[in-house]
Structure 1
């Protein structure tokens, strides 16, 4: 159970947010009011209200929205682009359709999973709106070159500052969250790797730390390559330092992401960088179809990893086995999914024991919301990258920083396949790119 200080920190955030919002412009406020609480607020600390629980995931979004939405005339709750607007509307419709098709009771031996009551729909719609807030803020406030430059800079600064507690936990063990907030947010054993520790700090898992530092590394490379002050001189050194922190965080997937981004940012042309980001987004978008058709060579991947590490190969094989079980369950209700209450999980038919483990965001969404929910949510994340690439294919000038932001977002998207690293920053980046595309369509000759 979290200590009193954890609750004080969580519920004092609105006051800190108000002070920050008064000191910076709207776009900077939209970034900082989501970035700072993501890095610092306690996990597993919440206060439940009838329609929403106030916690690290929901409170910053609500506070940022309440502080900022009145600051802009013609504040947009929906994108102007027809395809993006349809995606958002589908995201709202998805839980309604899932609820209507999951009123039945499921029985697994002694375990009974109740049907989803129709009255839960209101709470689900509130959840969708709160989930969308970072996207909406990005759409409205982080939709131009200067705002996206600020985002990338803040990401690098945050990565550098966060590297201090990260390096401390690598040396001393991941204990800051438990020492400061009185509770460890995850399974301790999962943070033990290669005779040492994965850092956790205040993000909940070592894998999330590694992905965040991968985003910061990509941002540093983008700013250095674009010769943006003050990274035009020392940006490469900063990026290499951040690469070192990623390596020390002991996540093979994050190291692969960083190596991919080093190659893309340093050696590819402007157009090719956008192609890489779009290709990654497309791969993520159709991933359930590829897995369902057995087009992902899982056995060969596991065997390849085994040459590097038997432990990692075993962990990956365990993930693939669980994905196979969960995917088979999801394909029983492919359109709208199984809904909440753990109905998407796999249970022993005789004992009722939960025999599945969910890691990736993709299988969680696909199992709960089916194809409709999956395509809506991942469409929201991937379509902005497709749209930026579409501008480039039509020979419209696109900011190199927006292309860099596409690459940064693509790193996060790629990690949603094996892990659950979705955050406010993911949706903020997607909204920022969507807003940028809409601005370009309104002012095609700008920039």
Structure 2
């Protein structure tokens, strides 16, 4: 988490063959692999792969290889793509599977993320007041367009991340985690600060990030607690994650057009926000048209998937934001399906009650009763964000692996010593 929050946003060209350039995400992956080698954790507690690992295995190995070969890019290019996918997604996912596979591990993860949000609070306030300067002060350069971080007559903080929207989502998610832990009385203090004031500090910082999307996600996360508390089940929360594949299907099939989205957004947000959204939708439409030419495995790499004018050869759009359209353009339907299955299965298994009654939670004695639930909510929020933005954050990939292990360990009754009461997960009492 420290690497995610404080390492610089830069790229160092790596001269060795096959290996990708050095970026923040690659450094984090190398750090995890080195830590595993030093701690010898792999030998002491080996990870047993199961059917739930298949989507990530396919995305890291089969999909990039098929994409390269189907585009005539050759085996070498396929191997490079495999390594890139493994370091970006696989290492983090399986680290979550291996190291956060017990109830107390999920608690450490949720509390650690709240602490990470608290660390960012003074930094957010500093950049809102003094302008986004921390990355420049520490590393000597600004990592993005300064103009994009001036919003509503003030500054949008960016800290040490790739964009202010990434900061906003991080603060939104940590606020949601804090709220659930506070309201469920699972945690009373964070660094001797009462949980209630901690929540309000995080919520104010989220608002100061000036992102309508992040504020909306925070409200979804908070309101989901009250929905669950009132219903005592996941009956309505299931729709949170179901809306993701529904949206993807409608967008790819063009059943939801740009004009429909513009009309709906106009009823909820300001003209400036709607204009920003429509730029993203226009990008999706252009990339979607190009991706439709290679629908199964995509174009391999983004430079080949970029839409251009057939007459002049000039690019039709300067940038692309949404994660889903990037994956669809480069890895096709198979890449899109496997990555969303891999990232969403853990949340899906919790929200749909796939963990059976006597496998999961002793509601009256467990101090960890909300962690898997709220992590499922915030990962669903992260997946919502991937429909708009392409800023995949290592900590969220780690969480998806942890939730997947929650499912597999419950199914094999590895939680049974802690959770034995035969009460369905759909009846968790978080009062």
TM-score, scaled relative to structure 2: 0.86
Looking at structure 1, the residues matched to 194 and 117 of structure 2 have their Cα atoms a distance apart, in angstroms, of: 15
What's the counterpart of residue 32 of structure 1?
Answer: none
Is residue 427 from structure 1 mapped to residue 361 from structure 2 by the alignment?
A: no
Report how far residue 340 of structure 1 moved: 0.7
Report how far residue 390 of structure 1 moved: 4.3
**TM superposition outliers: structure 1 runs of 4+ over 6 Å:** 270-273
Query: After superposition, where does 1:336-351 map in structure 2 within 5 Å?
Result: 336-351=297-312
Q: 1:272 to 1:348 in 2, by over 3 A?
A: farther
Is residue 127 from structure 1 mapped to residue 84 from structure 2 by the alignment?
A: yes
What's the counterpart of residue 187 of structure 2?
Answer: 229
What's the counterpart of residue 353 of structure 1?
Answer: 314
Report how far residue 68 of structure 1 moved: 2.1
Aligned Cα RMSD in Å?
Answer: 2.3
Looking at structure 2, the residues matched to 331 and 274 of structure 1 have their Cα atoms a distance apart, in angstroms, of: 36
Is residue 366 from structure 1 mapped to residue 323 from structure 2 by the alignment?
A: no
Please state whether the residue corresponding to 2:390 is helix, strand or coil: coil
Residues 214 and 246 in structure 1, CA contact (< 8 A), matched pair in contact too: yes
What's the counterpart of residue 240 of structure 1?
Answer: 200
Q: 1:183 to 1:335 in 2, by over 3 A?
A: same
Looking at structure 1, the residues matched to 236 and 392 of structure 2 have their Cα atoms a distance apart, in angstroms, of: 21
Looking at structure 2, the residues matched to 412 and 84 of structure 1 have their Cα atoms a distance apart, in angstroms, of: 20
Unaligned runs of 5+ in 1: 1-34, 104-115
Q: 1:276 to 1:359 in 2, by over 3 A?
A: farther
The more displaced of 320-329 and 223-232 is 223-232
Residues 217 and 242 in structure 1, CA contact (< 8 A), matched pair in contact too: yes
The more displaced of 301-310 and 257-266 is 301-310
Residues 68 and 78 in structure 2, CA contact (< 8 A), matched pair in contact too: yes
Looking at structure 1, the residues matched to 56 and 92 of structure 2 have their Cα atoms a distance apart, in angstroms, of: 16
Is residue 89 from structure 1 mapped to residue 62 from structure 2 by the alignment?
A: no
Q: 1:341 to 1:246 in 2, by over 3 A?
A: closer
What's the counterpart of residue 346 of structure 2?
Answer: 384
Residues 228 and 234 in structure 2, CA contact (< 8 A), matched pair in contact too: no
Residues 264 and 273 in structure 1, CA contact (< 8 A), matched pair in contact too: no
Residues 214 and 411 in structure 1, CA contact (< 8 A), matched pair in contact too: no
Looking at structure 1, the residues matched to 207 and 404 of structure 2 have their Cα atoms a distance apart, in angstroms, of: 32
Residues 191 and 198 in structure 1, CA contact (< 8 A), matched pair in contact too: yes
Report how far residue 271 of structure 1 moved: 7.5
The more displaced of 160-169 and 341-350 is 341-350
Q: Tell me the alpha carbon deviations over residues 32-79 of structure 1, each in whole angstroms, 9 at most, x when there is no partner.
A: xxx110000001142413222222110111111221252244655663
What's the counterpart of residue 317 of structure 1?
Answer: 278
Looking at structure 2, the residues matched to 277 and 429 of structure 1 have their Cα atoms a distance apart, in angstroms, of: 19
What's the counterpart of residue 376 of structure 2?
Answer: 406
Q: Tell me the alpha carbon deviations over residues 355-396 of structure 1, each in whole angstroms, 9 at most, x when there is no partner.
A: 223101010001100011111111110111122234457434
Q: 1:128 to 1:272 in 2, by over 3 A?
A: farther
Q: 1:37 to 1:172 in 2, by over 3 A?
A: same
Residues 92 and 401 in structure 2, CA contact (< 8 A), matched pair in contact too: yes
Residues 177 and 201 in structure 1, CA contact (< 8 A), matched pair in contact too: yes
Query: After superposition, where does 1:24-173 map in structure 2 within 5 Å?
Result: 35-48=1-14, 49-50=16-17, 51-68=19-36, 70-73=40-43, 75-76=45-46, 79-80=49-50, 82-103=51-72, 116-131=73-88, 132-173=90-131
What's the counterpart of residue 253 of structure 2?
Answer: 293
Q: 1:125 to 1:276 in 2, by over 3 A?
A: farther
Please state whether the residue corresponding to 2:24 is helix, strand or coil: coil
Q: 1:265 to 1:298 in 2, by over 3 A?
A: farther
Query: After superposition, where does 1:259-278 map in structure 2 within 5 Å?
Result: 259-269=219-229, 274=234, 278=238
Please state whether the residue corresponding to 1:46 is helix, strand or coil: coil
Residues 284 and 413 in structure 1, CA contact (< 8 A), matched pair in contact too: yes
Q: 1:352 to 1:272 in 2, by over 3 A?
A: farther
Q: 1:250 to 1:404 in 2, by over 3 A?
A: same
The more displaced of 235-244 and 36-45 is 235-244
Q: 1:45 to 1:119 in 2, by over 3 A?
A: closer
Report how far residue 134 of structure 1 moved: 1.0
